Structure 1
Amino acid sequence: MNKLVYNESQTESQTESRNDSRTERDYVGEVTIPGDKLYGVNTVRGVENLSVSPLGIAHYPQFRDAFAQCKWAAALANRDNDVLTTQQCEAIMLACRDVIAGRFDDSLIVDLLEGSGGTSTNMNFNEVIANRAQQHLGQPSGSYDVIHPNDHVNRSQSTNDVYPAALKIATHAMLEPLIAEIVQLAAHFDTKATEFADILHLGRTCLQDAQPMRLGQVFGGYASLTRRLAEELAAVRDKLRTLPLGGTAIGTGFGAPAGYRSAVYRHLSSITGVDYTAPSNPFDAMQNMDVFSRVSAELRTCAASLAKVASDLTVLSSGPVGGLGELHLPEAQAGSSIMPGKVNPVLPMAMIQLSFAVIGNDVAVAQAVQYGQLEINHFEPVVASRVFDSIMLLTNGIQRFAQKCVAGITADVARNEQHLMDSMAMATALVPKLGYARVSKLARQSVAEGRPLRSILDESGLLAKDDTLAAIHEASYPVFGA
């Protein structure tokens, strides 16, 4: 029996002994593989035929880890059902740990956007894990004498159940930090809502003067929206815990022992710390990817909603002379290569721009979900690519938007009050004091003479300035649900 080895010195010596290349063969012909790489001929074919993007399958660590976790859980379940020996299981388990540690990312070289329906991706993982397991058993790479990519690493599995399972696990993991960033953004908006609570502000509809309000109420609305976005993403994230693992090729479980499915979920939950479960109908789970339509839709909604907020901040901070100038955003960087002193709202602009990309990604996901055929959906790679991209864009973008922009916003109190007091919006607040007819007459006079209503009130003596301000303050605290 081969001794199972796992120590750094042994690993280094094995690496040195693999400096020469090796040859592997398939029905197409022979390929030469560098001796220090752990992939095999199936990986090479996938790279030759299907490389179209700059990102490999190890680019997102969560996806790499999810695949290895599935292989690890499968090995334990196969051992429990006596289709793998304890030695084979332990070697595969150690190899999966190495993959999760990122030690062999340079051998996970298949394109994330490959078009084989995930087979090339699955085989890349199978070959790397098999070759690394062989090393742990003191066997050479590429011989597969004790651990074979298909017979052992892929035992009781198919690309058709492992790939979508790994995709769900990875997405579940990636959404956690995104939700945390959204919650933190909501906290920043809450802070600003408190800070600006007593600042009078001109509310606008259709970009026209509307009614008096408080600036803090504006930011309170942003905070409420942002919390809801986090809650909806958390809700759809929970739907990712149902996996198709155990369905093998089309949902029947053909090729797996009777006790495999219950065992693989038990081990997977232990490995990941997440309570993943089998579907109520395995054929539905294999045929349909509608959960990713929901995930992507929530990502799109999040991006579009925050883009609206970012647009608001851009308008409210416009100027500094020719615009509204009611908010001051942190000056992040120079805004022009030709106009000295110009500073642009680059962080809100970045949020708006990334929303365009996320919305485009959602269209791609919707198309991929729609075009699954019969017993499986073979367009999972584009779903993975686009969903991961949306999550990454939002996680990074929201973090910068919150920390570098929202946290540092200040208000121009005088300008907020001036815009309100010079507008017709204050007319509504005066009706309880002066009556509709009188206020209407004064408003028409203001328009006809092109003078602020406040000036006419001051001259007429109908309402002192302090009383006008008091009326506006009172009007800006409406009673909701009355």
Structure 2
Amino acid sequence: MLQSEAQSTRVERDYLGEVSIPADKLFGINSVRGAENLTVSPLTIAHYPAFVTAFAQCKLAAALANRDVAKLTAEQAAAIEQACRDLIAGKFTDSLIVDLLEGSGGTSTNMNFNEVIANRAAQIAGGAMGEYHVVHPNDHVNASQSTNDVYPSALKIATYALLAPLVDEVAALADVLDAKAAEFADVLHLGRTCLQDAQPMMLGQVFGGYAALSRRLASSLTEIRGQLLTLPLGGTAIGTGFGAPAQYREAVYRHLRTITGVEYAPPADPFDAMQNMDVFSRVSGELRTTAAALAKIASDLTILSSGPAGGLGEIRLPMVQAGSSIMPGKVNPVIPMAMIQIGFAVIGNDVSVANAVQYGQLEINHFEPIVTQRVFDSIMMLTNGVRAFRDRCIAQIEADVGANEAHVMRSMAVATALVPTLGYAQVSKLARRSVDDGRPLLELLEEQGLLDREEAAQLMRSVARPVFNRS
């Protein structure tokens, strides 16, 4: 081997053999094996910074707690602390090489963090990477922990962090929809059921309903976010706490609260916390509900904006890009279509999460990686999608007042509004004649002196007023 080649790698050994590792990388032998055996997707554990931060926060809290209970020296704890803070600051993430979807139940992920932190701590302490007598990945970085309590704890912490921007985006969406409800408050609109003409309403009422839905979605996401504050940290392998000193659990939560600024707490029953991931069924379920509900709004907007000449054309969506490579001038509702597509993806992710939660076995759930990837994926798609939906579509929607009013006046909604004054039987005859003659009902009413266009418009507006007050 040439001298330059020898200096470019280092060799680590374990009971399975030896592995050559690039000399400038912080990962170790277990990370390499995890990457070689379990890479099935293009995303590593470094892909989501919130997950890296959460894992490093757990390792940092553990190091400080282990120092407090004399499992680490002050020097070891200080070196580990700085290494963790480096990861939190976004440094050295190119050494986090394990696939986010790895199939080792999280062990490869945990060991990747342990080795990166240990090697960085060795550098800080003046030692050499791969020589773990100063700071060892298992004995020191992983002290008083196991994959089984650290991984799900980091997953909860990261999910809690990632949900905050999503809640903000959905709440901001509700604000924009409220503004549109006020803007369109006086626009007469034809309400439809089963895609058929139904009753008159105001276009603002349509958007007010969307706003109310969005606020409920934000509230539900906030509520489920609060259920992520109980962590299994300190349970070690199966919930007994074996391997950690008696004082460790109190210390690790105390430090974690200081590090994160969040009131994380141990569970009432540590075995329940280790065995069950039902909270992620609920988190994923709320993400699915949010995605499906917003996709319904998006679908409505594609219908209301359809045409414009050959469809309803009652609202105008912003024209953000060309819609066809062959039809000049065509503009498609691409932002609402993207929102609908996100709905499909999040629903699919939810199926994966439900299966993974169901198939946990005995004392732990070793399918946490798929839960991690799918939940993070859903949150990020929704966060980005809702922002685009709000800013690039809904905030710029315009109403075609003439088209809205024309559709109401040509519809049988006029007949429904006349029932209280003319009676169901007489109105039914007029409506039937309108259909048979192929003439708008309002035209017949004007011929018979029963109602002119201005009176009809006033009647439609009075009928559209709700019989209850919105709160």
In the superposition, the TM-score normalised over structure 1's length comes to: 0.95
CA distance in 2, matches of 1:229, 1:19: 56
Question: Within the alignment, does 1:340 sit opposite 2:328 as a pair?
Answer: yes
The one of 235, 238, 241 aligned to 1:253: 241
Match of 1:210 in 2: 198
Match of 2:3 in 1: none
Report the residue type matching 2:249 in the other structure.
Answer: R
The residue correspondences of 1:103-114 to structure 2 (distance < 5 A) are 103-114=91-102
Q: Per-residue deviation at 1:465?
A: 2.5
Cα deviation 1:74-130 (Å, max 9, x = unaligned): 011111111111111111000000011111111000000000000000000000001
Question: Within the alignment, does 1:323 sit opposite 2:278 as a pair?
Answer: no
Three-state SS of the structure 1 residue aligned to 2:189 is strand
Three-state SS of the structure 1 residue aligned to 2:361 is coil
Does the CA contact (< 8 Å) of 1:19 and 1:36 recur in 2?
no
CA distance in 1, matches of 2:391, 2:62: 42
Match of 2:127 in 1: 139
CA distance in 2, matches of 1:384, 1:462: 66
Match of 1:89 in 2: 77
Change (3 A) 1:334 1:481: closer
Question: Within the alignment, does 1:33 sit opposite 2:26 as a pair?
Answer: no
Match of 2:468 in 1: 480
Match of 2:219 in 1: 231
Q: Per-residue deviation at 1:20?
A: 3.2
The one of 296, 311, 332 aligned to 1:308: 296
CA distance in 2, matches of 1:431, 1:44: 77
Aligned residues: 466
CA distance in 1, matches of 2:451, 2:131: 95
Runs (5+) with no aligned partner, structure 1? 1-17
Cα deviation 1:161-198 (Å, max 9, x = unaligned): 00000000000000000111111111111111000001
Does the CA contact (< 8 Å) of 1:19 and 1:34 recur in 2?
no
CA distance in 1, matches of 2:306, 2:438: 24
Three-state SS of the structure 1 residue aligned to 2:376 is helix
Cα deviation 1:128-158 (Å, max 9, x = unaligned): 0011111111000110121100000000000
Question: Within the alignment, does 1:219 sit opposite 2:220 as a pair?
Answer: no
Match of 1:156 in 2: 144
Q: Per-residue deviation at 1:19?
A: 6.0
The residue correspondences of 1:22-421 to structure 2 (distance < 5 A) are 22-421=10-409
- 82-91 vs 67-76, greater mean Cα deviation: 82-91
Does the CA contact (< 8 Å) of 1:212 and 1:476 recur in 2?
yes
CA distance in 2, matches of 1:477, 1:19: 80
Q: Percent identity?
A: 71
Report the residue type matching 2:314 in the other structure.
Answer: E
Report the residue type matching 1:467 in the other structure.
Answer: E
Three-state SS of the structure 1 residue aligned to 2:8 is coil
Does the CA contact (< 8 Å) of 2:442 and 2:451 recur in 1?
no
Runs (5+) with no aligned partner, structure 2? 1-5
Q: Per-residue deviation at 1:477?
A: 0.4
- 241-250 vs 468-477, greater mean Cα deviation: 468-477
CA distance in 2, matches of 1:373, 1:45: 25
Cα deviation 1:301-324 (Å, max 9, x = unaligned): 111111111000000000011100
Q: Per-residue deviation at 1:432?
A: 2.8
Change (3 A) 1:19 1:429: farther
Does the CA contact (< 8 Å) of 2:185 and 2:204 recur in 1?
yes
Q: Per-residue deviation at 1:481?
A: 8.1
Three-state SS of the structure 2 residue aligned to 1:57 is coil
Does the CA contact (< 8 Å) of 2:304 and 2:315 recur in 1?
yes
Q: Per-residue deviation at 1:431?
A: 2.2
4+ residue segments displaced more than 6 Å: none
In the superposition, the TM-score normalised over structure 2's length comes to: 0.97
Does the CA contact (< 8 Å) of 2:281 and 2:353 recur in 1?
yes
Three-state SS of the structure 2 residue aligned to 1:96 is helix
Does the CA contact (< 8 Å) of 2:38 and 2:103 recur in 1?
yes
